[in-house]
Amino acid sequence: MELTPPATARTLLVDDEPLIRAGLRLILDGTPGIEVVGEAGDGRAGVQAVASLRPHVVLMDLRMPVLDGIAATREIVASGHGAAVVVLTSFDTEGFIADALDAGAQGFLLKNAPPEELIDAVRQAAAGGMPFSPAVLRRVAQLAARAPRPDAADPLAELSDREREVALLIADGLGNQEIADRLYLSLPTVKTYVGRLLGKLDASNRVQIALAVQRARVG
Confidence bin at 142 (pLDDT 50/70/90) = low
Hey, what amino acid is at 29?
A: D
Q: Indicate the SS3 state at residue 159.
A: coil
Q: Indicate the SS3 state at residue 108.
A: strand
The CA-atom distances, in angstroms, between 22 and each of 13, 27, 68, 92 are 9, 9, 20, 23
pLDDT tens figures, 96-140: 777 888 888 888 888 888 898 899 889 888 887 777 776 666 666
Which residues, 6+ apart, have CB-to-CB distance to 212 below 8 Å? 155, 156, 167, 201, 203
Q: Which helix (H) or strand (E) holds 36?
A: strand 34-40
CA 47 to chain centre: 16
Whole-model pTM: value is 0.70
d(CA 108, CA 126): 14
Q: Which of 76, 5, 62 is nearest to 35 (CA)?
A: 5
Q: Which of 192, 176, 190 is nearest to 4 (CA)?
A: 176
Say whether pLDDT at 92 is over 80.
Answer: no
pLDDT tens figures, 36-88: 999 999 999 999 999 999 999 999 998 899 999 999 999 999 998 889 999 98
CA 167 to chain centre: 16
Tell whether the torsion through CA atoms of 145, 120, 14 and 12 is positive or negative: negative
